Amino acid sequence: MTGRAAAWFGQCYQRAPEGVWHAPGRVNLIGEHTDYNEGFVLPFALRRGIWAAAARRSDGLLELRSRQFPGEPVTVALDWLAPGSVTGWAAYPAGVAWALRRAGHDIGGASLAIDADLAAGAALSSSAALECAAALALAGLYQLAVPRAELARLAAAAENDFAGVPAGIMDQSASLRCEAGHALLLDCRTGAGTAVPLDLAGPGLALLLIDTRTRRALADGRYAARRRACEEAARALGVRALRDVTDSSAIARRLTDPVLRRAARHVITENARVLAAADLLLAGRPGGCGELLTASHQSLRDDFAVSWPQADAAVSAAVRAGALGARMTGGGFAGAVIALIPQDRLAQVRASVSAAFGRDGWQPPGFSQVRPAAGAGRLR
């Protein structure tokens, strides 16, 4: 893919790129809708992701081209970048240039050619991977020494403030900061991250990613509505963020709105599940995470109301066929499911999920076994 990205750049701009950078997508093992509540998450990076081949230019323009959107090249003057000035897929890399300049980083014009093997809208964080690939490319072209945690913050600002998507910091942190063979236990308030070994082969386990063949956009309003509910619940409880609520009985006493009560209950219990899962991984007991995954899905389905029919069917079918646990992963409403499975039950789980989808007349699901990969970096 590195060579393909460089060739795509040459096709677009009739010259060679100065470098090629890659940023991976992520799977969140557990910890959903906790990041913008300043809580805890436990994602890991995928091998699949976004490539950005890039070179400087002297005219103060940012030109963006994508192999996945070949009919939509975008050229904009850096001095004219502002929220709303670029829309669609190009808003994410353009937003990164805007965020870097707003933070005082001296970047000039650039030509970027984007390539990907990560599906958009599949809950694998393609938008954050695009932002991180562009951030590394622009920082590399102009020799900016920006720490990874700060670069993740700027990429998240591009998504929140420029593209208008109210997501948290998890996806960008996972893409930039994850290590091969590990999940990242991230404290989304302090930014502190701990690499947690995610060794599944030793105990004979596997993580199966189930693509439910449904797609969504976080900008469609439902994600923002869940975030607003969490913010309202925190105000009603008198705390800065739901991460500060540790006494679950306070929810029943002080939240009369059932929507706010359920949202708060999910966040509080999900934070506890993340920390419990990290402890199990650190203790070398990954199989114990299975029940936590299923409990997370039930909470996302019943309390937070972000699951969807294909995800519920996939989780139920996987557990019936021998998975230790399963859950939807990502922001919700569509996308993927992750299942923790003994390796000798993989075939049965695939067959069970496929049969469940067939009975309901849905498009056949996709399956891939995933392992924690390295974070973003320069490839050439």
**What average pLDDT does the segment 244-250 reach?**
84
Residues 83, 36 contacting (CB under 8 angstroms)? no
Residues 264, 233 contacting (CB under 8 angstroms)? yes
The answer to whether residue 220 scores a pLDDT higher than 70 is no
Helical ranges in the chain per DSSP H: 2-13, 91-102, 126-141, 148-157, 170-177, 222-237, 249-254, 258-282, 289-302, 309-320, 346-359
- Dihedral (C-alpha) 275, 279, 281, 282: value to the nearest 10 degrees? 130
The answer to whether residue 325 scores a pLDDT higher than 80 is yes
**What average pLDDT does the segment 30-44 reach?**
97
Looking at residue 217, what is its pLDDT? 62
Say which residue, 165 or 228, is predicted with more confidence: 228
Catalytic residues: 171
Q: Specify the pTM.
A: 0.93
The answer to whether residue 219 scores a pLDDT higher than 60 is no
**What average pLDDT does the segment 227-242 reach?**
96
For residue 111, give the nearest of 90, 132, 128 by alpha carbon. 90
**What average pLDDT does the segment 120-129 reach?**
82
pLDDT tens column, 197-206: 999 999 999 9
**Mean pLDDT, the chain, as a whole number?**
94
The answer to whether residue 120 scores a pLDDT higher than 90 is no
Percent of the chain at pLDDT exceeding 70: 98
How many helices and strands in the chain, by DSSP H and E?
A: 11, 12
